[in-house]
Structure formats: C-alpha cells, structure tokens
Structure 1
Amino acid sequence: MPVTMINEATHALSIRAGAVSGLIFDMDGTMIDSMPSHAQSWIAFVQQHGIDIDVADLMRRTTGRTGAECMCELFQRDLSFEEAWGFIAIKEQMYRDLFAPVFAEVAGFKQFAAQTLQRGLKLGVGTAGDRHNIAFAMQHLQLAVPPHAIVGGDEGLPGKPEPAIFLEAASRMAIRAGDCIVFEDAPLGIEAARRAGMRAVAICTTHSAEELAGPHVIAAASNYLELIESEFLETLHVATA
C-alpha cells in the first residue's frame, strides 16, 4: 500500500506542528514481523491446556496488553503474579522457538531506525513483550546503535490501551510526550498513543489503515520501505537542543 498521509489540509499540519524529538516503536508486528508466530504459539498453548477459544479473536482483544493481562483474559479469572508469568514463560518460549528459524524485521525497519538517528532523533521501544522477548528481538535485529530506552510489559506497568508504557519510554529518553511519535500495528497501541498525547504512525502489518485510524494518526504504511520512499522523516520538524 502507498503511504497514506492523513488529510493534506488539516491533519497533515500535525506532522510539522510541534517539534519532534523522538520516535517510539512498538515491537511485535511493528519492528519485527512476529505476529504469525505469536498466533501459532497461542494455538499450541490453548491446545496444550484444552481451552476452546477463537485465537484470532483473543489476539484482537489482547495484542498490546501485558502477558499477565493476556493470561487472565484467556483463563477468565484472576491469576497470581507467579501463575500468570509461569504460563507466559511457556507460551513465549513456544513463540521464540517458532519465530527464530524464520526471524524477519518488518521490511526496512533497520534502515529507517538508522536514518532516525542520523536526523538527530532519539529512538525508543515501548512494548508489552517481556524482557526475554525483547532480548530475543534485539539479538536477532543486531541494530548498529541500541535504542535510547526500552520499556517492557513485565515492568509492572499496565498494558495498552493505557498510556503508561509509552509515557515511561518518553520519560527515560527525557522527552515530552507531545514531542514523540509512536509507531504501532495494533488498535490498542494506537489508542495508547492517543491517551499519551502522542502522534502515531500506523504500521499495517496485521490491521488495515482504517482499523488503525484516529485523529492523532498522521500516516499509515505497510512497512518502512514505503516511509523511506515517501521521505517521511524529511517532513518532520526535528527539535534542536
């Protein structure tokens, strides 16, 4: 799909309105093309536990929420911290085992990240994934320069659509929330960006641009090659110290 720049008249001004100091990326489905492997691991996990559930619907309702929140939703009861994270450890190991042989970034992410840094912008990660999935992703991505901040879903913060993960990423980068742009592939993440007072770019790997629309969404693209081709970064007014 071509990059959709939202509304030339009014909303396109939001790209240039206000300086931009940093970009915050969700991880799964946004930095890495991992959602098919997550789906496969959920299917294997529910089968292992004899749970009859529509996995696609479960993922629509939970993608962006923390592992503990997802497990409480799956089992339809409150789980202790230890029980919830015990389950998620099993499920996420299944995911990593499935994804490792076919690991792939969302097309153009590493190039886009490098260009982000070259333009003087900070780069953060705000994900509901736990520290093990984060380490797995970073090991495989092999970014030339690590992100300025990484916030994960096992740090005690509420998952998306609550804004806490994105707000913490901005805080760790010492950037005002309004000076950040979030890149997201899921509706709960897009809503979390709105609640954080941040602009957003929809990465349409798992959802359509229409499903990821919002008054704060300034662009939509299938991948980062499209954003590079459209010179998206060049449209931004980068803050100067």
Structure 2
Amino acid sequence: MTDLGPLADRTFAAVIFDMDGTLIDSTPAVMRSWRTWAVEHGITPEDLLFHHGVPAAGVVAAVLPDHQYDSALARINELELADLEEIALMPGAREALDAVVAAPHAIATSCTRPLAAARLRLSGIVAPDVLVTADDVERGKPNPDPFLAAARGLGIDPADCLVIEDAPAGVQAARSAGCAALAVATTVDADDLAAADLVISDLSAVRLVPTDGRIRIESAS
C-alpha cells in the first residue's frame, strides 16, 4: 500500500497534469530529437543535463549564444514535430484522466501547442478545456507561470490545486505557484523529486477519487 504522507488527508478542487513523462511516454522520441539537435549544434549530452521539464526555448537559451537562438529553436521544434514514433500512455494515466473527467482538471506542458496537440492525439487523450503550453506563457517551468495560468483558466485558487509532475523543474514550478505537488518517478530518480509533497513510481500507484465535488487521493493497493 502506498503511503500518501501529507496528501493522505487532503482534498483538492482541481488537478493539473504535466504531460510528457506524466501522462504520455514520449521519452524515445524526445531523446532522438535532442540527440540529433545536439550533434548538429556541437552540444554534448552532458550539456543538456538538468534541463528536463524545461521548455525547448529555455534549453536552447541556456546552452547556445543569442545569435543562434532563433534558428536553433526552430530546428528542435521541427525535429520534435517530425518524430512522433513510440508515443504511448504512461501507466495509470488513462485511469487518472477518466477519474477526473467530470471534475476541474487541466494540462500544463512545456511543449509547444502544435507538439502537444500531436502527442495528445497519438496517445488517444482528449485535450481538456484548459491546456497551457509553452506558447501560452512568457516564462516556462521552473517558473510558476504555467500552473498559475492553468489555475486561472480553471477559475480555482492555485493553493487548492494538485499538480502531478515528473520533472524537478515542474515540481519547482508547482511549489512556486502555491500548488501541492505529486511527483511520479518515471523519468528521473525519486531523490531528484524530493521537493514534492509525495513521490510515487507512476500514476498506477494511486487513484484519484472525486468526492463531494472535490478530489482526493487513495492508494491503488
């Protein structure tokens, strides 16, 4: 049975999901695209470490000089949109989304809107009414802007939202926004997600349960 720790006795008005690594397994495609991009721009894999969960624009700005920014960003966007192979649902994702289908929920992703739409379509996920992408905010994760925008779109106080994330940058963004954070250790070690309220293996470890107009978490076993 999963120990729910500080989330055991809490309920929430809404759930905000990250997308890649949380709901959708796009890791093979992401790695292929960024590996190709890195080779083309003389970047080593080590140069890209610690940027997981950060929008492509933030990664490009961090590792290349300003004069290469526009062309380099356009190139990684092109590569990612061209590689949509092996896109699949993460464990427990379908059940989690089905559980909150009638409750306030949103997706806040570091993808561009075209890429998010493509990956959602291929994974069979219907985009929620509130979908926040990298194109919708001036500052992406680890800044709080994506989750603040999602909460605003839902009309709910960020403090009453549960964010589900797989990346340290996303957890940092959630906490900065004032949201509770449930982390899934699907793409990084659990120790790297220690800032979250609770870390689980993946969404199959818990159930989201609508109760009296709110959402609570239960152990799945």
Q: Give TM-score, length-normalised by structure 1.
A: 0.79
Go from structure 1 to structure 2 and tell me whether the alpha carbon gap of 1:91 and 1:205 turns closer, same or farther (over 3 Å shift).
same
Unaligned runs of 5+ residues in structure 2 are 216-221
- Do the aligned residues in 1 keep the contact of 2:29 with 2:85 (CA within 8 Å)? no
**Residue number in structure 1 paired with 2:76:** 91
1:155-170 equivalent positions in 2, closer than 5 A: 155-170=136-151
Q: How does 1:1-150 map to 2 (within 5 A)?
A: 3-6=2-5, 11=6, 14-17=7-10, 19-49=11-41, 51-53=42-44, 55-56=45-46, 58-60=48-50, 62-75=51-64, 77-79=65-67, 84-98=69-83, 100-117=84-101, 120-143=102-125, 145-150=126-131
Contact 1:128 1:160 in 2 (8 A): yes
Give the SS at the match of 1:234. Answer: strand
Identity of aligned residues (%): 28
Cα deviation code 1:122-175 (max 9, x no counterpart): 1201111101211111211223x5313011112242111110110000100111
Cα contact 1:67–1:88 (8 A) shared by 2: yes
Per residue, is there more strand in 1 or in 2?
2
3-state SS of the aligned residue for 1:88?
A: helix
Following TM superposition, by how much is the alpha carbon of 1:121 offset from its aligned partner in structure 2, in angstroms? 2.2
Shift of 1:84: 3.5
**Distance verdict in 2 for CA 1:111–1:85, change over 3 Å:** farther
Alpha-carbon offset, residue 97 of structure 1: 3.5
Aligned length: 215
SS at match of 1:233: strand
3-state secondary structure, aligned to 2:24:
coil
- Cα 1:201–1:21 change in 2 (3 A) is same
1:220 aligns with 2:194: no
Q: 1:114 to 1:213 in 2, by over 3 A?
A: same
Tell me, in whole angstroms, the C-alpha distance in 1 between the residues paired with 2:198 and 2:173. 16
Structure 1 residue 236: Cα displacement: 6.9
Q: Note closer, same or farther for the CA distance 1:124–1:90 as it changes in structure 2 (3 Å cut).
A: same
Counterpart of 1:234, as a letter, is V
Contact 2:165 2:183 in 1 (8 A): yes
Aligned residues of 2:116 and 2:133 also touching (Cα < 8 A): yes
Residue 190 of structure 1 is aligned with which of 155, 162, 171? 171
TM-score, normalised on structure 2?
A: 0.86
| 2:135 is the counterpart of 1:151 | no
**SS of 1:23 mapped into structure 2:** strand
User: CA 1:57/1:205 → structure 2, altered by over 3 Å: closer, same or farther?
Assistant: farther
Partner of 1:172: 153
The alpha-carbon deviation at position 48 of structure 1 amounts to 1.6
> Where do 5+ consecutive residues of structure 1 fail to align?
none
